[in-house]
Structure 1
Amino acid sequence: MTQQTIYHIGTPGTPWGATEKAQWLAEQTKKRSYFDDVVSKIETFKSDFDVDQYGELAYDSGTYPLFVVRTKNWDDSKPTVLVTGGVHGYETSGVHGALRFIETKAKDYQPHFNVVVAPCLSPWGYETINRWNPAAIDPNRSFVADSPAGECAHIMNYVAGLGVDILAHIDLHETTDTDNSEFRPAKAAMDGKVNTNWNIPDGFYLVGNSEKPYPEFQKAVLDSVEEVTHIADADDENKLIGEDIAQRGVILLPTAKMGLCISFSKAEYATTTEVYPDSPKATPEQCIQAQVAAVTGGLDFLK
C-alpha cells in the first residue's frame, strides 16, 4: 500500500515544538456536539441509574463536564465492572456503544455487578473528531501517574475514589481509515519519525493485557461479537497492526507500560475492543451493536 508519509505540518525528521502544535490546534474545528449527542442522552438515564459528574475539562474552545453512569443500589459485596468509551474521541462507536449498552443492557447485570460506564472520556476529541486532546496528547498513552491529560487524570481519580477492586474493564475503541489518512502521519510528524505500519484490520479484534491474558475471557467476548459482525483475520505475517496474534482476533500488549486505558483500573479481566466501521462488510450500526456485544459477552462469562 502506498501512503503519504509527509505530513503538512512540521519539518520531516524534526519533532514538533510549541509552534507546530499550535498550528495543528488552530486547524481543528467542531464537527458535532458532545452536548447534543452524549450529554442529552445521559440525562435520560437519570431515572434508572446514578449519574455522577467526575470532573470537567476547560479548554479555550469550551468547558466539558464529564460523566459516569452507575447501576443503582451500589453493593460493595458485588464485583465492580468498568466500561469506558471515547478515550479517543473520534472513535464514534466506542462512545455510542457505551451509551447503547447503558440504554439496553446495563440493568440486566445489576444483580451480578456494580456497573460503572464512562461513555466519553474525550469530549473535545469527540466534537473535533480527533485522537488527541488540544495539547496534542494521546489520552490512550497517558494513563500514568500524574497524567498530563485531564481526560485520563479525572477518570483515574474517580475510579480510585470508589475504593473497590475492579473485576473487569472493557474499553471501547475502533480503527478507521482516517488512522492512515490523518492520525498516523500526524503522529509520525510530531515525533519526527517515519511511519511504517499502515495495517488496518478488516473486522473486529481485541487488545488484551499481556500480563493477564485470560484467553477464555477474550474468546467469550469475540464469540459474542461474532454474532453481530466479523472477526479480523491476521495478515500474511500472522499479525494485526504489526503485532503477533496471541489467539484468533487477539493481540496482547504490555498495557501498563504503554499507559493504555485498560491498565489504570488494575482489573483482573481487561480488554480493548477495536472495530472497523469503514469495512465494506459492516455498517456503523453494526459497529455499535458489536461494542455492546463485546461488553455483554465479557460480563456473561464472568457472571
Structure 2
Amino acid sequence: MSNTIYPIGTPGEPWGPEHKQQWLEAQKIHRSYQDEVVTKIQALSAQFEIIEYGLLAYQQDYPLFALKHKNWQAGRPIALVTGGVHGYETSGIHGALAFAAELTPEHSQAFNILVVPCVSPWGYETINRWNPDAIDPNRSFYEGSPAPEAQLLLDFIAPFSSDVLVHIDLHETTDTDNSEFRPALAAREGTTNNNWNIPDGFYLVADTERPQPEFQKAINAKVATVTHIAEADINNQLIGVPISGHGVIEYAGRKLGLCMGLTLAPYVTTTEVYPDSPRSTPENCVAAQVAAVVGALDFVRAL
C-alpha cells in the first residue's frame, strides 16, 4: 500500500537543503522535555549518578543525560538501557525512566546499571523520528555520524563499551509510521513509499549477528504477562521482515547504524511496542517496556 504524495518536494527527486528547511519550519513543539523527562531524571538522584554527557544546540539547548547506578562496582558486567532514540516513541523514554525508578536490588547487585532515557529530546518535544536536519538518529550509529544524538552517545559509551553484557533499546511502532514518517522518508530520498503492515502487539528486533533466540524468547514471555505479543501476518512476517521466532524479527544492527549496534554486547534487542492498539493504554505500553528490560536481565542473570 502506498501513501499519497508527501507535501514537500517533487516526487521522484531527493530533497535539497531548501526542502529540509521547509520540513523543519513545519515542525512545532508539542510537549516539554524539561517538564516531562528531565524532572523525572532529577528525581532519581538518590539511586543514580546523573551524568550530562552532551548538549544538543538546536533552536534551544537540550542537555543529554545518563543515569549511572550508585551501586557501581568495577569488574561487574554492564546492563545498558536506551530510550528515545526516536523521540516520538513515548513509551521508550518513560519505560526507561520507570525501569530506573523500579530497579530492584537483584538487578543492581548483578549488573552495573546504565540508563540513557532520552537520546533525542528535540524529537520528543516535536514528536519526530528525525532530528532537525531530517536525519534519523537510529540509522546513524557509526563514527563520524551526521547525527549528534548518535555521535554523542557513541562517545559517551565508548569507555564502557567492552563491559556491556546486555543492551535493551526501547522503541515503538506506531500508526504514524505509515501516515507520516515512511512517506516523509520516501519524499526525502526521492523514492516510492510502500507502507508496511503495522503489527498489533509487542515484538522484538534481534541483531542478525547475535540473535540469541532463547534470550528473545524469554523477553517476550515476560512481556506477555502484561500485554499481547504481535502475531505474524499472512506472509509470516512483521513489518515486511520474516519472523525468526514468535514476535521476533532480525535486522543487521551495526550495518544499518542502529542503536542496538552501539556496543558488541552479546545480548541485545530492540523492543517495539504498539501504542495505537485498541488493547493498549499508555500505562500498559510503559509496563511492557519495563517487563522487557526485566525479562532480559532475569535471563542473563540466570546464565
Say whether the fold is shared (TM-score over 0.5).
Answer: yes
Alignment-mate amino acid for residue 232 of structure 1: A
Deviates more, 1:84-93 or 1:276-285: 276-285
Distance 1:162 1:20 in 2: 39
Whether the 8 Å contact between 1:89 and 1:125 is mirrored in structure 2 is: yes
1:1-303 matches, within 5 Å, as 3-59=2-58, 61-105=59-103, 107-162=105-160, 164-303=162-301
**Counterpart residue identity of residue 104, structure 1:** E
1:72 Cα offset (Å): 0.9
3-state secondary structure, aligned to 1:172: strand
Deviation per residue, 1:219-273 (Å, 9 max, x gap): 1100000001000000000000000100110001111100000101111100000
Q: Is contact 1:76–1:164 with CA below 8 Å preserved after alignment?
A: no
Q: CA deviation at 1:195?
A: 1.4
Q: Deviations along 1:267-295, whole A, 9 cap, x unmatched? A: 11000000100001111110000000000
Between the aligned partners of 2:7 and 2:286, the Cα distance in structure 1 is 33
Stretches of structure 2 lacking an aligned partner (at least 5 in a row): none
Question: What SS does the aligned partner of 1:290 have?
Answer: helix
Counterpart Cα distance in 2 of 1:268 and 1:247: 18
Which stretches in structure 1 are left out of the alignment for 5+ residues?
A: none
Percent of pairs identical after alignment?
58
Matches of 1:136 and 1:88, distance apart in 2: 12
AA at the equivalent of 2:183 = P
Q: Distance in 1 between matches of 2:196 and 2:148?
A: 29
**Separation in 1 of the partners of 2:226 and 2:264?**
29
Give the 3-state SS of the residue equivalent to 2:170 in structure 1.
Answer: strand
TM (norm. structure 2) is: 0.97
Alpha-carbon distance in 2 for matches of 1:197, 1:39: 34
Give the ranges of 4+ consecutive aligned residues of structure 1 lying more than 4 Å apart after TM superposition.
none
- Distance in 2 between residues matched to 1:156 and 1:17, nearest whole Å: 28
Q: Distance in 2 between matches of 1:153 and 1:161?
A: 14
The secondary structure found in structure 2 opposite 1:171 is strand
| TM-score, with length taken from structure 1 | 0.97
1:118 partner letter = V
